[in-house]
Amino acid sequence: MDDAELARKAQDGDEAAIEALVKRYLPQVLRLSTRLAGDTMLAEDIAQEAFVKAWRNLKRYDTGKPFAPWMLAITRNAALDHLRKRRAVPFSALSPKDDDEGLAFADTLASDEPLPEEVLARAQSDQTVAAALAQLPERDRTVLTLRYEDELSFEDIGGVMAAPMNTVKSWHRRAQARLRALLTDTVMPGDGRPDAPRHD
C-alpha cells in the first residue's frame, strides 16, 4: 500500500495504517533526529514526539504530496524545539551564519565538488564522518543528512526546511564546504582549508 493510501486510512483513524506508517518512516525519522540531537536517547524521544505531532496534525496533511518531506519537517521542528529547550539558546544560534569567514567562496563551487580522494579514503577508514558531521551547525547537518542519507531532492529538502530550492542548493554547497574543511583538518591536520576556488 502506498503512503497516500496509508495516510488516508490513518486520517480516518485506522490504527493498522498508523502503525504501518510508523514502521515505514521510523528509520528515517530516527536518523534525522540522531543527526540533529547527537544523542541516541534524546533522538528516540524526539522520534516519538515527532510521530505524536504528526498524528495530531494528520488531518492537515495533503495526501497528494509526498509523505516523507512532511514527516521529516515535523521531525526537524521537534528536534529544534528539544535542542532549544535543552540548551536554552535562541533559535538563531542553532543556524550557521551565512557570512562565515572563509566560506563565502562556497557559493562559487559546483554543487558536487568532490572531496579529495585521500581525504575521502582516510575519512572512510577512520570513521570520522559522524564526528565531523556532529560538529556542523544544525542546518548543514540537516541538509547533508536529507541529501545523502535520505536521498531527497533539493525540492523536497526545501519542503522539509521551509526554504526555496535555490536557497537549499546554496546551503548544500556551504555545508559541503564546511564538511570538507572539517574532514581535511581532522584526517590531514596542517593542510587546513580546502582548495580555494579556481577562477580560470
Partner 1 sequence: MGSFERLFQTLPPTIPSPRLCERVVDGIRQERARAAGTRFFAALAVAFASLAGVVYAVRLFAAAAYASGFSAYASLAFSDSGVLSSHTTAFGATLLESIPGPEAVLALALLAVLIQSARIALGSGAAWRMARARHAA
> Which residues contact partner 1 by CB under 8 A?
13, 15, 18-19, 22-23, 26-27, 30-31, 34, 44, 47-49, 51-52, 55-56, 112, 114-115, 117, 120, 123-124, 127, 129-130, 133, 144, 147-149, 176, 179, 183
CB of 39 to partner 1, least distance (A): 13
Tell me whether residue 44 or residue 167 sits nearer to partner 1 (CB atom): 44
What are the start-end ranges of the H helices in 67-163? 67-87, 117-126, 129-135, 138-144, 154-161
Tell me whether residue 51 or residue 171 sits nearer to partner 1 (CB atom): 51
CB of 99 to partner 1, least distance (A): 24
Residue 185 CA to residue 179 CA, distance in Å, equals 10
CB of 106 to partner 1, least distance (A): 14
Residue 50 CA to residue 42 CA, distance in Å, equals 12
Tell me whether residue 114 or residue 164 sits nearer to partner 1 (CB atom): 114
Question: For 52, what's the count of Cα atoms within 13 Å in the CB-facing half-sphere?
Answer: 7
Tell me whether residue 47 or residue 73 sits nearer to partner 1 (CB atom): 47
- Among 78, 186, 192, smallest CA distance to 124 is for 186
CB of 88 to partner 1, least distance (A): 25
Tell me whether residue 88 or residue 110 sits nearer to partner 1 (CB atom): 110
Buried b (16+ CB within 10 A) or exposed e, 79-113: bbebbeeeeeeeeeebebeeeeeebeebeebeeee
CB of 130 to partner 1, least distance (A): 6
Rounded (10°) CA dihedral 35, 71, 113, 116: 30
